[in-house]
Amino acid sequence: MMVSLVCRSRLWSLAAGTRRVACRRWVAQSRNKPLKQWTLIVHPLSSLRVRLPCHVRVRPQDPLTYPDADRVFVMVSGVDRNVHRGLDLDNIEVKYDEESKQVLISSQDIDSQTCVEVTTPVRFDVNIKTMGHGNVDVKKIECDNCQIETEKGTSVLQSVKGHSVHVRTNGGKVVCVGTVHGNVDIQALAHSTVDIEKLLGTSINICTEHGQLKAKYLYAESSSLVSAAGNIIVGSVHGDTKLHTTEGNITVDSSDGCLMASSNQGTIDVYVSQAGKVYLKTDIGEQVYKVFLFALIFISEDCKAAFTLVNIVVIVNITYPRDTKLGYS
């Protein structure tokens, strides 16, 4: 047994900085000159449906400037590289369907480096699918349903408030910046990675195959994080949480609630900071179990009192034989 003080805040800070730089990089690349624009008159409770092989950005309008919430602005930007550019733009369809109350944007032939930026009322459902390496960037919208699907592109959700948030990628990245509210379901296939700053909702379900799953803060009644071969790294988790990876490692910096973590071949590294139940299971691997204790020290001198909390982290390194279970309450 050894005693150690553990601090990963700097690592999380560096990771967050890298995440934001990556997001800004591809967004900045798409900020080229405007090539075509549309203004649509819509019903205030409409939705957005996009099917494009290029980058897509969604931003909210200023409610003070557009208090009626009945406008949607669409702008296509890119690099006018050849005389045939206009033909590409003619192949993009932008319209509003009155019956379904949907803004429809679609194209099969538009240049993959083009960026389509949509400005909607603050409250607007979104359903976006990009092909190829098309990225999706959704920022500060409120909605009942937010659905995003990419193939190789990056999905960035920044400060999104939704009831239901579904993200799926077949080889790209999923990045959540700021706080994403709602019942979140993320499916990241192949070598897709997931990088989350903060999720807040009733239920959270995240699944990866070979890519790393990293979440700084999770606040939910129930959370399930599963990976076939990737590592699962969690900063702080609150609520009932299930973590499982077949071949990867599991790291939890702080757990408040019931935690169940299992790995067939990897190492489980768990730090328990609050009262709760912990169940750890590894078939072949090591369990590093960190228990948070505290001592209350009272100092009195000349009728002056001071209280000091001394935090102690006790780390127990144990290599368990095959199919070992560890329970703590």
Confidence (pLDDT) at 272: 75
Confidence (pLDDT) at 80: 59
Confidence (pLDDT) at 141: 96
**Mean pLDDT, each 10-residue run in order, the chain (329 residues):** 38 53 48 84 96 97 95 88 55 95 94 94 97 97 97 98 97 97 97 97 97 97 96 95 94 90 88 75 66 40 38 42 50
Distances (CA, A) of 153 to 27, 111, 195, 208, 325: 12, 15, 14, 16, 39
Does the predicted TM-score (pTM) go above 0.95?
no
